[in-house]
Amino acid sequence: MVPNNSTRLGSFRRYPPRAARRKSRAASWLESFLWTVGCVALGYCAFLWGRAQYDQAQGNWIVDRYQFVDHRQPDVKVRPAAGSLVGRIEIPRLKYSAVIFEGIDDATLDRGVGHLAGTATPGELGNLVLAGHRDTFFRPLKKIREGDEIDVTGPDGVSRYRVEFTQIVAPEATEVLRSTGRATLTLITCYPFRFIGNAPDRFIVRGQKVDKEVESHENVSISGSRSGSGRRRL
């Protein structure tokens, strides 16, 4: 009698070897694991984005009402606590605005722009140093240019700075943090802006505080001289 090989071959095709079944289960488990990791990562990113939007909205609400001023001690300069509200930065030409918090750790920079502890606060004489991530709150800095005006709102009101220069430096170039003896503003972010991973350099924006009264007087004088000479105003 001839053995029924077709039956055995059919059984073989219908029931794959144990190693093949294990490989199939491993692939299925890996796919499920990767989907889970992806969903968790997206959820975490959505959480960070939502928290940042909430903190920015809350910060703007407080800054607009000046409720972060300690009215009980008007003559005492209180250094801001880590993570607390410092103020707001605005660049009118870029239509940019972001709330500033104390500290430059990752948790703070996920919420907004960070103020480097130990440097001048808004309105103080010295070097006001602010930092931000190049792919979030300081992304607009790639379009900044010399002469742009930057407004920083703090407990003492609004201080205006004018950009003197931009510069690309190494991460260890700490001289940009030193006080210049004037009221200056230094913005720091990683560079290049489109670099994937840890960027190798730092992009620096340096501005000098502008006396609004002097600026207003100069503008009146300049416009008057131009109108008198018949030159077109730009």
Q: Of the listed 39, 115, 190, 217, which one is catalytic?
A: 190
Residue 24 burial (10 A CB sphere; 0-12, 13-18, 19+): exposed
Best CA proximity match to 55, nearest among 99, 86, 117: 99
Residues 68-88 pLDDT 10s: 555 444 445 567 788 899 999
Q: Is residue 124 part of a domain?
A: yes
Residues 57-68 pLDDT 10s: 888 888 877 655
The more confident residue out of 118 and 34 is 118
pLDDT of residue 80: 79
Model confidence band, residue 227 (pLDDT cutoffs 50, 70, 90): very low
pLDDT of residue 177: 92
Whether 145 shows a pLDDT value over 80: the answer reads yes
Q: Is residue 33 part of a domain?
A: no
Q: Is residue 210 part of a domain?
A: yes
Which pairs from 171-180 meet CB under 8 Å and 24+ separation? 171/200, 171/201, 171/202, 173/202, 176/202, 176/204, 176/206, 177/116, 177/119, 177/127, 177/129, 178/127, 179/119, 179/120, 179/126, 179/127, 180/127
Q: Is residue 5 part of a domain?
A: no
pLDDT of residue 131: 97
Q: Is residue 176 part of a domain?
A: yes
Q: Is 45 a catalytic residue?
A: no
Q: Of the listed 39, 45, 133, 217, which one is catalytic?
A: 133
Q: How far apart are CA 202 and CA 190, in angstroms?
A: 4
pLDDT of residue 14: 57
Q: Is 190 a catalytic residue?
A: yes
Model confidence band, residue 196 (pLDDT cutoffs 50, 70, 90): confident
CATH (domain of 112): 2.40.260.10
pLDDT of residue 44: 55
Q: Is residue 62 part of a domain?
A: no
pLDDT of residue 128: 97
Structural domain of 157: 85-218
Domain tally for the chain?
1
Q: Is residue 180 part of a domain?
A: yes
Q: What is the pTM of this model?
A: 0.69
Q: Is residue 127 part of a domain?
A: yes
Whether 183 shows a pLDDT value over 50: the answer reads yes
